[in-house]
Every structure is written in structure tokens, then in C-alpha cells.
Structure 1
Amino acid sequence: MTQPVRRAAVFAALCTLSLAVPLFGPVVGATVATVALVGAFAVTDGPLFELLAYPGDYEDRRLYGLITFVLAGVALGLVAVAGSLSIAIFVGTVLLVGYGNLAEQLVRSVTDDDVLVVTGFCLAATAAAVAGQVVTLWLANGVVGAALPSVLFLAASGALLAALLRDVLLLYDDPIVMLSVGLLLWLLAELEPAIGATEIALALAVTVALGYASYALGTASVAGMLTGVLLGLVTIVLGGYGWFVVLIAFFAIGGLSTKFRYDRKEELGVAEDNDGARGSGNVLGNAAVALAAVLGYAASSATLLPGDPDPALFLFAFAGSVSTAMSDTLSSEIGSIFETPRLITTLEPVEPGTDGGVTWQGGLAGLVGGAIVAAISYALFPEVDALGATIIVAAGFVGMIVDSILGATLEGSLLGNQGVNFLATLSGALVCALLVLSSAILG
């Protein structure tokens, strides 16, 4: 057994002690955490230190990795005891990180395949989170059947977020991972899924299969794949399969457009890095507003928002943001192969790949992209009539123009590419929702 595996096993065992809270109460749980912290401060040398130390711990001979890990668990525990975070989510989150990490190290000891490593982490993390929540709920109520859909959804969502964060952070940033997962699950727990455990398992299988396909085809990195799977799962569970179809249409068509005449783009110096594989930043830059709209729709449907806004407004905001993302992606990826772009703010000729450079071919492709999103929305959502579909196309076009203007004026100085994408999709979402609201008032 390698040292990373042994260290992960000790951390997993410490995570299991979180069960002391539902078993014996907060006082015993706090005592266990105190003993762990004192031990971490006391051990400064010897075999135990060598076993538990991360690279950064050696300079001061202090187990800072273990200390911050325990403190993160204590912080979540305090929120659970004194706030509205449930004990079940607290225990599930702690076990998720600990046992997911152990599984990852076990897989990594026999293979370096990134997908297998991530799969091992996610499977073990999901199983541990489900077990932790089920045990805690059973100790509290004696019945867990009705809560199984929520338990499975939270466990899978937490595992995906943890895997994503571990891919983009350092190994010894697990305290950040634990706190981030706990806060996400705290939010999602307020938005109970409207579908059953079987449907959630099916949704997870569908999103994982499509996510792996995007990775295998080279249109997404591992981080991009994890981000897409998490977004897809949340979208299906809180919105529905219709919302997911709209979102996956963007990812599929956008990913393929990145590969369109890729050799030509390389010649012009405008090709995406990593052979066109999109990472988590790119995925979130284009889909963060859509995710916020899904969460807003779920919250408004559950009457959790002040003023009881119409859930349909969030549907149109979602469609407007995706229409913008689709329009902008097709405009950029297709328009970039032409050598006659003009800067949108001055219409002066610029080099291909210049931020804010546009071509009429790219603009036409962008309109087609928005029309695709509008057509899918019209076919799947009763709320979207002919006028609504037209508004979705218009919102996508406006968002595409905003993206180009921001690219010509602020990108590179105040904003990065992901920030521009976020603001553009936000503008598309707002334009779509406001136009729909205005048409309803005037009509």
C-alpha cells in the first residue's frame, strides 16, 4: 500500500467520526473534533507525521493539511448544528470527500488514466454520501424511503462538484472542496427534486454517457466533462429533460463547430487550445447564467422567491442565455475561417482572431444558432409560442453583439474571455425575459 493510499485511509477514518454527531450529539462530535485538532498540532515528527504530512507541511513541521481539513469539517458542523444545514448533508459531505479521496488514491496506484481516476472518485464519493445521509436520516426518523430521490441527487451532485474542484485545485485543497460541496448541497436541498430516485439515476446515466462522449470526441477536457455532467444533472432534476435538450444541443453543436475546419483555424492562428477541447472555465462562462436560471425556476416553482415571480420568466431567461451562447459560438467558430473580419466598433479591417472582429458569414451563422435554440424551445415548451421563439432568436442576436462589443473594448484589459461570455449570456437572458414580460404587459 502506497503512502498516498495510507494517508487517504487515515483521512477517511477521521471523516467516519462525523457520525458521532447524529449518533451521540453535537457535544460528543465537538469533543472528537477537538481531540483530532490537538493531535494534529501535537504530532510534529515521527512515522505518523510522515504518513499524514503534505509537501507544504514539512517546512514548519506542522500538519496544516490535517488541521485545515478538520477545521473545515468543524465549520460545516457548526452550520449544521446552529443553522439550517441538515446534519445528514453535513455527514454526507464529510464522508463524500474522505472516501472519494481514498478511492481516487487506490485507482491512481494502479493506473494514471484520468477518466478511471475520476470515475473511481465519483462512484465512491456518491456511495459514501448516500450512506452517510441514509444512516443519519434513519437515526433521526427511522424512515428514509421518501427522502431517497433527494439523497441520491445531492450525493451525485456533490461528488461531481468535488471531482471538478479536485481537478482544478491542488490535492491538499480538500478543505476548500469540503466547504464548497457543503454549501452547494445546502442550496440544492432547498430545491427538492420533482422526480423519483429511478428517474434521477437515469438522468445521471444519461449525463455521464454524454459527458464521456464529449471527452472521447475531444470536445471537452476532463474538467469540462465533469462540469457538463454536473450542469446536465442539475438541469434535468430541477428543470426537466426539455431544458436539458436545449442545453445539450448547445454543447453538442458548439463542440462540433469548434472542430469545423480546425486545420484552417490553426493556419490562421485562431484555433481553440487543447485541440478544441473545452475546459471548465469555458463551460461555466457559457452556461453559468443558464444554471442560475434553472435554479431560479426551481425556487420560483417552490415559491421560495420574494414576490412570487412567474417561473416562465426563468425559462425564457434560460433560453435567451443558451441562444446567446449558441449564436456567439457559431459566429466565432464559423466566422473565424474567413480572412476579412472587421472590428464591430469601427468597422475597420482587422486580423483574423482579433477580439471584437466580426464577419457577415459569422453573423449569419449566429442567427442560425439562435434559431436552432428557438426551434427546440418552441417544440418542447408550451410556454414558448411563435412570438416567444422570435424573442429567443432576437435575444441571442443581441447577446452575440454584446459579446463582440465587449471583446473589442474590454477583453484583455478588464475582462477575460470567460468573463465576456458570462456577461454576454447574462445580457441575452435579461433581454429575453424583459421582452417576454413587456409583451405580456402590452398584450
Structure 2
Amino acid sequence: MTSTLRRAGGFAAVGTLSLAAPALGAAAAVPFAVIAVLAAFVVDDGPMFELFARPGDHQDGRLNGLAGFTLAATGLALLATAPQLAVPPRQAMPTSVFVAAVLILAYGNVGEKLVAQRWSDPFAAVTGFTVVGFLAGTLGQFAVQTVTGAAVDLPTASFLAATGALVAALLRSVLYERDDPLVMLSVGLLLWFFTQLVLDIATVGIVVGLAVTILLGYVAYALGTASVTGMVTGVLLGLLTIVLGGVGWFAVLISFFAVGGLSAKFKYDDKLDRGVAEDNDGARGSGNVLGNAAVALFAVIGFAASSTLSMPSSLFLFAFTGSLAAAMSDTLSSEIGGLYDEPRLITTFERVPPGTDGGVTWQGELAGVAGAALVAAIAVALLDLGDPVVGAAVIVLGGVGGMTVDSLLGATVEGDRIGNQAVNFLATLAGALVSAGLAVVLL
């Protein structure tokens, strides 16, 4: 057994203390706080130090990684207990969420290290973390619910565990191992937020959602249209969309990923020769995925929370479709338009070299309109837009509006001031606002 696997096992053993939370009650934070103090100020040598020491701990003479891990667990434990002790009592983080967040990270690390012993592929490591973290998070919730006598809701527990495992895997891929405390806190707070939504998740829905999103994520990775982090991000977005929105919402989302990803591969060598090809052989990373789909994610979460927010759900529906229409329009206009000569700067109409930010061609603009129309057609077929003709027009206008904003930002501020991912986000936000605004006026 390697030292990294033994260390992961040690952290998992510490994380298992969270299962005592129902019995400890208000003292749930105490074991983790004690371990944090020992790790930071007492244990500086010996077998225990060697078990938990991460690179750099020997130089500092203290177990920084263990101290950070247990302090994060202490913070979550306090969120799960302290509000209940206030006068009057306030809503606390559910104990099951606290346990799930700790176990997802602790045992996910074990899964990652186990897989890494046999396969060096980053995809395998992320898969090991996600699968084992998911199982640990689900079983942890069951354990808490069994001890407390609460009813066991398998679909919701599975959804929370899957979401937590995917978010943790994504954050760990982007951050560093020393940032595990931040990952744990982020997962705990996110899952707490989801417990506040009115979730009506069927067993079949969560099973189908997981199966479809994982399959499509793997296909995207295998075809080279997404990197490992891009795949994890896409699976997370897909799962949230199909569970919180529904099949129609998911179909709109996946149409963007599929068509957009394939368009990046279309005549890739020609684009490479012209200097307009996407980096990483056209594979989309997490930044690219989030830049194009973050607004859609906020929209589907808003849709799920619309009753709590006392806002019409249709507003979020059109924000969702408008943002993805903008993402599709911008992607196709760039990928198709980049194959043609003599683009013109959108602000002055003067000719610029291919690949110039803000440069447009009539072929690219036509492809962008077609992309928005494709999103609108899928939405009309699978979603309730009210008046289908007006609804489709609203989505197309949102898509074209977002594409135009992208080009204008590219010609004026992209580069030294803001990057491509920020421009994509602002363009999809513009598409969402245009579609939602028009829907309010016309529907």
C-alpha cells in the first residue's frame, strides 16, 4: 500500500467520525476541533505524523492538511448544530448533508488513490473519486436517517450525493489537494441549498438522469470534444438540468453540447492552419463549458426555486433557452465563419484577418441564426412556450442578440481587459435577458 493511499485511508477514518453526529448532537463539532488542535500544535513527529503528513508538512512541522480538513468539518458541524441552540432556534444544515459532504471528500480521495495505483489516466482517477464519493455520500445519508428514524428518500439522497461528488471532483481538478477544506465547505453549502428547494425526484428520474449524463459525458470525452474537467462539468450540468428542469430542458442543453462540440471538430485541421482553431484539439474544458452554460445553470436552479421566489417559472424557461441559443449561435458563427476569408470587424466593417476578435462573416452570421433556430425548434417540440410561434421567435432573437453582443465585446474589450470565457458568459447573459424580457412583453 502506497503512502498516499494510507494517508487517504487515514483521512477517511477521521471523516467517518461524522457518522457520530446524530448521537453527539450539539457536540458534533468537538471531535474534529480536537483533532484540528492536535494536528496544528501537538503532533509533529512519529507514526501518526507520518500517516497524515502531506508534502510540505515535514518542513512546517505540523499537519496542515489534517488541520484544514478537520477545521472544515468543524465548521460544517457547527452549521448543523449551532443554529438549533440559538434563541429562538434557527434553521440548521441537515445532519445528513453535513455527513454526506465530509464522507464524499474523505472516501472520494480513497477511491482516487486506489484507481491511481493501477491506471495513470486522469479520467480513471476522476471516475474513482466520483463513484466512491457518491457511494459514501449516499450511504452516509442512509446511516443518519436510520439512526434518527427519519424516512429514507433514496432518489433525493442519490441526487445530493451525485451532485456533491461531481462538484467535489470538479473543484479538485481545478484546485489543489491542499484546498480540500474549501472543497468540503463548498459541497456542504451547495447541498444545503438544494435541500431548501422543493424537490420531487422519482427513482426512475434519478437513475435515468445519472445513466444518460454519464454516458454522454464519456462519449464526449472519448470523441475528444471535452477534456476531463469539461466532461465532469457537462455531466454535472446535465444532471442538474434533467432533475431540476426535466427531459425537455435537458434536450435543449445537450443539443448545444453535441452540436457545439462537433462544430469545433469540423474541419479542425483547416482551422488550425488558419489560426482560428480551439486549443486542446477542440476539446472543451470546464472554463469553456461554464462560460457558455453558467447562465443556463442559474436559470434551471431559478426554475426549481420559482415557487419559493414567487416568480413565474416561464421567466426562467426563456432565460434558459435564450442563453443556450446565444451559446449555440456564437459557437456556430465562430466555428463555421472561421473557415471563410475576409471577415469584417463588426464595429467598423473594415476587413480584418481571420480569427480577429469581433470579426464576422456573412456565412458565420447565417450559421449563428441557424443555431438559434435549432434551439428554438427543440424548445417548441419539448417545452411549453405558450404561443409556439412567438416563443420560438423570442428564443431566436435572444440567440442572435447574444451572438451580436459577443462580437461587439470581442471587437472592443476582449483581450487585455477580459478573456474569452468572460465574454461568453456575458453573451449568454445577454441572450437570457433578451429572451426573458421579450417573453414578459409578448407572452
Q: 2:102 aligns with which of 77, 94, 101?
A: 94
Confirm or deny: 8 A CA contact 1:220 1:279 kept in the other structure.
yes
Matched, 1:32 2:31: yes
Normalised TM-score (structure 1): 0.96
Confirm or deny: 8 A CA contact 2:166 2:236 kept in the other structure.
yes
The one-letter code of the counterpart of 1:127 is L
Q: 2:141 — aligned with what?
A: 133
The one-letter code of the counterpart of 1:333 is E
Q: 2:352 — aligned with what?
A: 350
Q: Which runs of 4+ in 1 moved over 6 A?
A: none
Matches within 5 A, 1:177-326: 177-300=183-306, 303-305=307-309, 308-326=310-328
Q: Secondary structure at the match of 1:55?
A: coil
| Distance in 1, Cα, partners of 2:63 & 2:55 | 10
What is the CA distance between 1:48 and its match in structure 2? 2.5
Q: 1:73 — aligned with what?
A: 73
Aligned residues: CA RMSD: 1.2
| Distance in 2, Cα, partners of 1:333 & 1:106 | 40
Q: Secondary structure at the match of 2:211?
A: helix
Would you say how many aligned residue pairs link Structure 1 and Structure 2? 433
Q: 2:406 aligns with which of 403, 406, 414?
A: 403
127-136 vs 281-290, which moves further: 127-136
The one-letter code of the counterpart of 2:155 is P
Per-residue displacement from partner, 1:391-413 (whole Å, max 9, x unpaired)? Answer: 11111001000000011111112
Matches within 5 A, 1:104-119: 104-119=112-127
What is the CA distance between 1:101 and its match in structure 2? 0.4
The one-letter code of the counterpart of 2:330 is D
Call closer, same or farther: CA 1:30–1:395 in 2, change over 3 Å: closer
Confirm or deny: 8 A CA contact 1:152 1:197 kept in the other structure.
no
Q: 1:43 — aligned with what?
A: 43
The one-letter code of the counterpart of 2:394 is I
Confirm or deny: 8 A CA contact 2:33 2:74 kept in the other structure.
no
The one-letter code of the counterpart of 1:380 is L
The one-letter code of the counterpart of 1:36 is I
Confirm or deny: 8 A CA contact 1:395 1:428 kept in the other structure.
yes
Matched, 1:58 2:53: no
| Distance in 2, Cα, partners of 1:331 & 1:419 | 18
Confirm or deny: 8 A CA contact 2:29 2:73 kept in the other structure.
no
What is the CA distance between 1:184 and its match in structure 2? 1.2
Per-residue displacement from partner, 1:257-316 (whole Å, max 9, x unpaired)? Answer: 00111111111111111100000000000000000000011101xx210xx211011101
| Distance in 2, Cα, partners of 1:124 & 1:269 | 42
Per-residue displacement from partner, 1:36-76 (whole Å, max 9, x unpaired)? Answer: 12321211123322221111323321111111111111111
What is the CA distance between 1:142 and its match in structure 2? 4.3
| Distance in 1, Cα, partners of 2:384 & 2:32 | 53
Per-residue displacement from partner, 1:93-148 (whole Å, max 9, x unpaired)? Answer: 1011100101110111121122222221111101110111111122223431xx22
Q: 2:438 — aligned with what?
A: 435
Matched, 1:426 2:426: no
Q: 2:166 — aligned with what?
A: 160
| Distance in 2, Cα, partners of 1:142 & 1:433 | 41
Per-residue displacement from partner, 1:307-350 (whole Å, max 9, x unpaired)? Answer: x2110111011000000000000000000111211111111111
Matches within 5 A, 1:141-152: 141-144=149-152, 147-152=153-158
191-200 vs 362-371, which moves further: 191-200
Normalised TM-score (structure 2): 0.96
